[in-house]
Amino acid sequence: MMQGNADMTMNELPLFSAELHPHRSLGRNGHRVFFLIAGALSVAHMAVFLISGAWPIVLFFGLDFAALYGAFWLNNRAARAREIVSLSRTNILIRKISPSGRETDYAFNPFWARFNVARKPKIGITAMHVAGQGRRTDVGTFLPLDDRERFATAFSGALARVKRGY
């Protein structure tokens, strides 16, 4: 998603582009079903305690459900974060988009940039970052381990091809 002039040269076309986003196991419909079931169970338990005369317990069930809903809301909000990584012959552009929609761009010269990967023996990749010209930015901090491996392999290969002049 690089923006540029209409007279973009062949060297500025992206040779590698990836959109990174956090993995979430439940989609929108999954959350609806989950909260319908959790809400129905909460209401059923609330009714049992209300009928038996333990009305203060009903308030705690309501607070628990509200806390559960708030945690899932925060989790879904964090899932809107993403990073767009583009590599052309003349530029590395990393666009980070926060959950609130705020965008931050980082641009590097591919010939001066280094893609560093930190690994731990039994874990795998723990951190990735692009550094160059006295600047540094992390990439893919929210990715699962398998996705980090795939991205690191693809991006480092594309960066090496650019540096070799292909």
- Judged by phi (left if over 0) then psi (alpha if -120 to 50, else beta), residue 104 lies in beta
pTM of the entire predicted model: 0.76
- At residue 79, the pLDDT reads 87
Same domain for 66 and 124:
no
The domain of 124 spans 14-23+81-164
- At residue 8, the pLDDT reads 41
Q: Which of 56, 90, 62 is nearest to 165 (CA)?
A: 90
Same domain for 51 and 18:
no
Same domain for 45 and 104:
no
Same domain for 133 and 97:
yes
Cα separation, 159 vs 50, whole angstroms: 65
Question: Residue 3: inside a domain, yes or no?
Answer: no
Same domain for 36 and 106:
no
Domain count, the chain: 2
- At residue 157, the pLDDT reads 94
Query: Which domain-ending residue is among 78, 100, 120?
Result: 78
Same domain for 60 and 97:
no
pLDDT tens string, the chain, 166 residues long: the values are: 334 443 344 457 888 999 999 988 888 899 999 999 999 999 999 999 999 999 899 999 999 999 999 999 998 888 889 999 999 999 999 999 999 999 999 999 999 999 999 999 998 999 999 999 899 999 999 999 889 999 999 999 999 999 988 7
